[in-house]
Amino acid sequence: MKLELVLIPSVSHGHLPPLVEFSKLLVDGHDQLSVTVIIIPPRQELRTPTLSSYISSLSTTPRDRLRFIVLSDADRSNSPNTEPDFHSYSESYKPAVKATVAKLNDPARSDLSKLVGFVVDMFCTQMIDVANEFDVPSYLFYPSSAAFLGLQVHVQYLCDVENYDVVSELKDSDTELEVPFLTRFLPAKCVPSVIVNKEWLPVVLSHARRFQETKGVLIDTFAELEPQAVKFISGGNSPLPTVYAVGPVGLGSVDDNQTEVLMWLDDQPYRSVVFLCFGSMGGFREDQAKEIAIALERSGYRFVWCLRRAAETGPPKEFTNLEEVLPEGFLERTAEIGKVIGWAPQRAVLASPAVGGFVSHCGWNSILESVWFGVPVATWPLYAEQQLNAFEMVQEMGIAVEIRNHFQGEYMAAAETRMELVTAEEIERGIRWLMQQDSDVRDRVRKMSEMSHMAVIDGGSSHDALVKFIQDVTGN
């Protein structure tokens, strides 16, 4: 009898693609295993044409033993005309997920498979309840760093056991924390904004408690990249179950559609271009955009700059008239050496030999891609866990330089947050440091890139972890 594994992603740019790529590895890794990915519609505030197009492409691309079932707004248990808050959104889809799995598990089906478990995204832990109803184990898919997972469970312990008031103790503090998942003290200013935000902290804690109910945690990292953090979350003092470090997931192929920016990069000298891109939710106000432009022009480097306007909620928007936003004459003066665009195929850009440095918001997928392609990073975190990622890249891994490690962007910011301005001088200094051709940082990135490729091939640490997970889940 064939075996069936159900995967439930969180639908955002940073979460859905890694889990989709992981599902492909599963069916390739066991010829009796079938995978069904049940896709919950993204919240209204996260819906973009790019994400919608990606979801549509999944259901129209057939693959043996891998299927995608896309739920709709009408499948919610409450009225689709009202938008529940973040805490209850996944909860509202539990009945629909249960009904979908019940159909897969119907004894009357001619192609009946044995249900062996659920794999749920870090933001879909409510679906552990559905797995329990079918009396199968659940596993967690964690598309972020081992360090952030370590911080989540560490903070949950501090709050629940030691009654530590995280927000009041750490917000706007100069304290340095001794934490078991890093070899260095963690400055409070680099604790992720979601931890010190009184609105988001209960969400972080709730999910961290539920992580411990799963049978295993699949994390998109590799042991050589985060040795201290992987050791902590896998060790005897960690409350987590078995940890499988299986990353980087799905970076072996690059979309080679020749967009204008890729064709332009083909004509640029080796490692001469700095790439600035800040993720699906990263944008800036006009005053900050001008500071970046001044820095780029002063530095003299060729550049590709993904620039969008910040929004307090939802994805950033396109600037309607860049000439009114950027310094007068900037676009004309830099026309031969730079491209200012709204969106770029990030992985393909990083794969270009012309790209020599990456100014990034430090989302985890972006970090893994920069490592895979051997491109050093200048850190400029904006939201979520990115402050910790930035600190880890600079201080623990030594594969990045710092523009800022503790910036707070518009998205997910607390209402009382005063927006900072990073000056052109800071940005220019970071870009010049980033683009040094003979730096220790560039050499360490090159070596880590080689390790990332070794990790996913037969005998590598991540490949072995993937094999171990498949053996465990199919042997339930």
| CA 476/CA 467 separation, integer angstroms | 15
Percent of the chain with pLDDT over 90: 77
281 closest CA partner among 45, 122, 76, 83: 45
The per-residue pLDDT for range 208-223, each reduced to its tens digit, is 999 999 999 999 999 9
Q: Which residues is 358 bridged to in the sheet?
A: 275, 377
Q: What pLDDT, on the 0 to 100 scale, is given for residue 181?
A: 96
pTM here?
0.94
| Mean pLDDT, rounded, for 458-462 | 98
Q: What pLDDT, on the 0 to 100 scale, is given for residue 416?
A: 47
| Mean pLDDT, rounded, for 404-409 | 68
The answer on pLDDT for 459 being more than 60 is yes
The answer on pLDDT for 393 being more than 50 is yes
Asked, colleague to colleague, whether 3-148+191-252+453-474 and 260-449 share their fold, the answer is yes
The per-residue pLDDT for range 153-204, each reduced to its tens digit, is 999 999 999 999 999 999 889 999 999 999 999 999 999 988 998 988 999 9
Q: What pLDDT, on the 0 to 100 scale, is given for residue 419?
A: 64
| Mean pLDDT, rounded, for 16-27 | 95
Percent of the chain with pLDDT over 70: 95
Asked if residue 131 lies in contact with residue 118, where contact means CB atoms within 8 angstroms, the answer is yes
The answer on pLDDT for 109 being more than 80 is no
What are φ and ψ of residue 426, in 5° steps?
Answer: -60, -45
| Mean pLDDT, rounded, for 380-397 | 94
Q: Which residues is 400 bridged to in the sheet?
A: 377
Under DSSP, is residue 358 helix (H, G, I), strand (E, B) or coil? strand
Residue written as token pair 């062996």: 116
Residue-range domain boundaries for the chain:
3-148+191-252+453-474, 260-449
Pairing of strands 176-177, 186-187: antiparallel
Q: What pLDDT, on the 0 to 100 scale, is given for residue 311?
A: 80
The answer on pLDDT for 428 being more than 50 is yes
User: Can you name the CATH fold of 260-449?
Assistant: Rossmann fold (3.40.50)
Asked if residue 374 lies in contact with residue 446, where contact means CB atoms within 8 angstroms, the answer is yes
User: Can you name the CATH fold of 3-148+191-252+453-474?
Assistant: Rossmann fold (3.40.50)
Asked if residue 380 lies in contact with residue 422, where contact means CB atoms within 8 angstroms, the answer is yes
| Amino acid found at 209 | R
pLDDT-based confidence at residue 417 (cuts at 50, 70, 90):
low
| Mean pLDDT, rounded, for 259-265 | 94
Q: Which of 94-108, 129-143, 324-338 has the lowest mean pLDDT?
A: 94-108
CB atoms within 10 A of CB 341: 17
pLDDT-based confidence at residue 385 (cuts at 50, 70, 90):
very high
The per-residue pLDDT for range 29-79, each reduced to its tens digit, is 999 999 999 999 988 877 888 888 889 888 777 788 999 999 999 999 875
